């Protein structure tokens, strides 16, 4: 049982390049989300999904796309990387209807640098 797996762990991109950050979970959780964490800004929600085929925007969605074709996977795509997207990205999951109503499991993060 791996929990939430993010790949890659580190990535350096040139401005204008595109890439996909992968997130996979094996807990059959309906709810998945992507956050970015920046010094002085804390954790900010980029996009989230309440189940396969359903996605919605969070607080800072511009420059990012997501899709959710399966329960297990929730990739985050950077369309044209910009230096402002240099950050640490976290994927999180929780079970729908969980009484705590919050993100319960986080991945280990992807450290992205855009030069």
Residues that bind other proteins (CB under 8 A): 4, 31, 33, 40-45, 48, 58-59, 90, 92, 99-109
- Of 56 and 80, the one with the shorter C-beta distance to other proteins is 56
Residue 80 or 101: the one with the smaller Cβ distance to other proteins is 101
Question: Residue 17 Cβ, how far from other proteins at the closest point, in Å?
Answer: 24
| SS3 per residue for the chain | CCCEEEECCEEEECCCCCEEEEEEECCCCCEEEEEEEECCCEEEEEEEEEECCEEEECCCCCCEEECCCCCCECCEEECCCCHHHCEEEEEEEECCCCCCCCCCEECCCEEEEEC
Cis peptide bond upstream of 47, omega within 30: no
Least Cβ distance, residue 88 to other proteins (angstroms):
9
Q: What is the nearest approach in angstroms of other proteins to the Cβ of residue 16?
A: 28
Looking at the Cβ atoms of 57 and 84, the one nearer to other proteins is: 57
Q: Give 52 or 82: the residue with its C-beta nearer to other proteins.
A: 52
């Amino acid at each position: 049982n791996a929990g939430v797996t993010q790949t890659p762990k580190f990535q350096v991109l040139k401005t204008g390049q595109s890439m996909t950050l992968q997130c996979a979970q094996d807990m059959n959780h309906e709810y998945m989300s992507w956050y970015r964490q920046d010094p002085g800004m804390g954790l900010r929600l980029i996009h989230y999904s309440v189940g396969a085929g359903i996605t919605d925007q969070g607080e800072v969605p511009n420059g990012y796309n997501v899709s959710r074709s399966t329960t297990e996977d929730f990739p985050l795509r950077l369309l044209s990387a910009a230096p402002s997207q240099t950050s640490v990205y976290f994927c999180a999951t929780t079970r729908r209807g969980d009484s705590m109503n919050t993100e319960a499991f986080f991945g280990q993060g992807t450290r992205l640098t855009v030069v």
